[in-house]
Amino acid sequence: MGRKVILATCSLNQWALDFDGNLERILRSIEIAKSQGAKYRLGPELEICGYGCADHFYESDTLLHCFQVLRKLLESPVTQDIICDVGMPIMHHNVRYNCRVIFLNRKILLIRPKMLLANYGNNREFRWFSPWNKLRHVEEYFLPRMIQDMTGQDTVPFGDCVLSTKDTCIGSEICAELWNPRSPHVDMGLDGVEIFTNSSASYHELRKADHRVNLVKSATTKSGGIYMLANQKGCDGDRLYYDGCATVAINGDIVAQGRQFSLDDVEVVTATLDLEDVRSYRGEHCHPHVEYEHKPCHRVKVDFSLSDCDDVYLPTHQPIEWQFHTPEEEISLGPACWLWDYLRRSGQAGFLLPLSGGVDSSSTACIVYSMCVLVCQAVRDGNSQVLEDVQRVVNDVSYTPRDPRELCGRIFTTCYMASENSSEGTRNRAKELASQVGSSHMNLNIDMAVKGMLGIFSMVTGKCPQFRANGGSTRENLALQNVQARIRMILAYLFAQLSQWAEGKPGGLLVLGSANVDESLTGYFTKYDCSSADINPIGGISKTDLRSFLQYCVEQFQLTALKSIMAAPPTAELEPLTDGQVSQTDESDMGMTYSELSVIGRLRKISKCGPYSMFCKLIHTWREALSPLQVAAKVKHFFQMYSVNRHKMTTVTPSYHAESYGPDDNRFDLRPFLYNTRWSWQFRAIDNQVSKMEVGNGDHD
DSSP codes joined into one string, 506-569: -S--EEBP---HHHHHHT-S-TTSTT-SSBBTTTTS-HHHHHHHHHHHHHHH--TTHHHHHHSP
pLDDT, tens only, 383-404: 999 999 999 999 999 999 999 9
Quick one: pLDDT band at residue 521, thresholds 50, 70, 90? confident
194 in active site: no
Tell me which of 14-18, 309-313, 459-463, 551-555 is least confident: 309-313
pLDDT of residue 9: 98
pLDDT of residue 700: 43
pLDDT of residue 701: 40
Judge whether residue 322 has pLDDT over 60.
Answer: yes
Determine which one of 49, 169, 175, 609 is catalytic. 175
3-class SS of residue 155: strand
Contacts of 696 (CB under 8 A, 6+ apart): none
Mean per-residue pLDDT for 354-370?
Answer: 96
Quick one: pLDDT band at residue 699, thresholds 50, 70, 90? very low
72 in active site: no
Judge whether residue 601 has pLDDT over 80.
Answer: yes
Judge whether residue 287 has pLDDT over 80.
Answer: no
pLDDT, tens only, 622-673: 999 999 999 999 999 999 999 999 998 888 899 999 988 888 877 788 889 8
Determine which one of 11, 29, 183, 356 is catalytic. 356
Judge whether residue 576 has pLDDT over 50.
Answer: yes
Judge whether residue 504 has pLDDT over 50.
Answer: yes
pLDDT of residue 592: 86
Mean per-residue pLDDT for 528-539?
Answer: 91
pLDDT, tens only, 225-246: 999 999 999 999 999 999 999 9
Determine which one of 34, 45, 47, 575 is catalytic. 45
Query: What is the distance between the alpha carbons of residues 354 and 419, in angstroms, rounded to a whole number?
Result: 13
For the chain, which domains are there? Answer: 4-324 (3.60.110.10), 328-444+489-571 (3.40.50.620), 591-700 (no CATH)
Helices (H), 222-252: none
Judge whether residue 486 has pLDDT over 50.
Answer: yes
Query: What is the distance between the alpha carbons of residues 455 and 421, in angstroms, rounded to a whole number?
Result: 18
45 in active site: yes
Determine which one of 39, 114, 233, 527 is catalytic. 114
175 in active site: yes
Q: Taking all residues of the chain, what is their mean pLDDT, rounded to a whole number?
A: 93
